[in-house]
Chains A and B, each alone.
Chain A
Amino acid sequence: MFRYLSKIELKQSIFYYLFLFLFFFFWNFFSLFIFFFYLNIQNILQSYEDKVPINMLIFYENNPLNILNLSSEIDKNIYVKKVIIISPEELLEKSKNDLPPEILKIFSKDEIKSQFPYILKIYPTSIKDYPALRDQLNLLTKANPNIEILEPGFFKLIYFAYFFKLGFLILAITWFLFYLIFLYFLNTLINSYLKNQTQIFLLLGGTLKKFKFLRFLFVGLILITAFVYSALVYFYISDSISSIIPLFKPYPNFSKINHLLYFGTYIFLTVFFFPWLTIIMSYRKHEI
């Protein structure tokens, strides 16, 4: 029976299956790259998140208690993750080797130290909080001329990357919806081509179960083949990218369990679950 039904199914819809193959080859290829860039940007952001504080320089302050108060005050701000205090002593200690030896000869240690500020390294809770935090801290500098704010120079780039990341997320969701709609559309199209014949089959006492199963089988086979091909191309290209640009890592990393888990879920959704769902949905109105 399956032999005859396959004949019926394939005779009319072979072109749609070829089209499905091409579509999924490219779709999957770009999806994998969306993930690749998304995860890499996330990765780069994360490595910066804990490393780029806003530096607050406080000059001519001799009372460490005031600094402590200020620090704990800032720490209460919701945008602040942590504050690290660097005293002039530590600063001097750190920069000793960089200072020209003449200076160390002319001025006493205490004199130099008095010119050095306290530094509060203020780490924001998240990259996206930078602007708000910076604005609030700027208010302080207005009130006190001895306070100065230093932003990391490449901050704008990181901030941009943050939104880039958000954009990618939206792109990924749209991309998935596009796939779902495409699958539904394709199945509906094949169904309408085969409508007369499925109806004959039903009138002779058959059920749609076999048709659904066959469709799932064919679509699944096509998707698996297209997946393997486009995944191979993806791995080849993404490996090259990450070997040229050391900032980029290849994804998924097969030695990490959670990467495998996510990759498996992706395959399950795109190759099995979505096709199954759309096939069932597309056959809804064909029962007579």
Chain B
Amino acid sequence: MALITLQNVSKIYPPFFKALININLQIYKGDFIILTGPTGAGKTTLLKLIYKEEKPTSGELFYQNIPYSKLKPKELSFLRQNLGIIFQDYKLFPELTVYENIKISLILSKKFFKDAKLLIYEYLERFNISQKAQKKVKELSGGEQQKVGIIRAIIRDPEILIADEPTGNLDPVSINEILSILKDFNKEGKTIILATHDPIILNQNLGKIVKLNKGELVEDV
């Protein structure tokens, strides 16, 4: 049984911009999906449908055979608690500190325990921003914010990791750090959906490449 299924999914942004056209896709547990395609192809839109920031105009998505449209608010929040999402636009709380942003993610996924503080600092250290832990997010640079967004998603050890251009603003060292984390994740049997057009990542043969172009699925290698 597929973990996530997209069935004849189309997304039209009002008034009539076709962002996704008739997408069929099945994502299984343990998959490493690499979503690629030129700018404006609809990668982010597809991910938004998966974590239900947007609703499809037609077609249906399923989480383990449960249609998204039938998910009750409580079930939906439970589904999201098991997701780790790295947003293309970071989506951090600008008025809260780096530490607080990460802590909220842990609390919401019910993984905040006694030693969580140590864990948070471990990750900050790993991405070389531990000295910014008590700074407000709005005072960080773009790359630093991206790192916080990454840590916030992976620290909750999610069943499914959704990463939208996680390397866009990062230096090569950090990119390698992320890639090694993603590989480890996948080895543990976790599902990863990664949207990128970074050739460094595409050349590494990490998983199944799904290519979008102008809202259509072109290749499903």
Contact = CB atoms under 8 A, between A and B. Distances in A.
Contacts, number: 57
Contacts of B123: none
A8 B93 CA distance: 8
Interface of A: 1, 4, 7-8, 11-12, 196-197, 199-207, 287-288
Given A197-B93, A206-B108, 5 more contacts: A7-B96, A204-B85, A204-B152, A205-B79, A205-B108
Contacts of B52: 288
Given A200-B93, A205-B80, A206-B77, A4 B53 contact: no
Given A4-B104, A206-B108, A288-B52, A200 B92 contact: yes
A203 B104 contact: no
Interface residues of B, number: 27
8 nearest A-B residue pairs (beta carbon): A205-B81, A205-B80, A11-B95, A205-B108, A200-B91, A204-B108, A205-B77, A206-B108
B67 to A, nearest CB: 17
Nearest to A204: B108
Contacts of A7: 95-96, 100
Contacts of A8: 93, 95-96
29 contacts: A4-B93, A4-B96, A4-B103, A7-B95, A7-B96, A7-B100, A8-B93, A11-B95, A199-B53, A200-B91, A200-B92, A201-B104, A202-B77, A202-B80, A203-B53, A204-B80, A204-B81, A204-B104, A204-B105, A204-B108, A204-B152, A205-B77, A205-B78, A205-B81, A205-B82, A205-B109, A207-B73, A207-B77, A287-B73
B61 interface: no
B116 interface: no
Interface string B48-66: 0001110000000000000
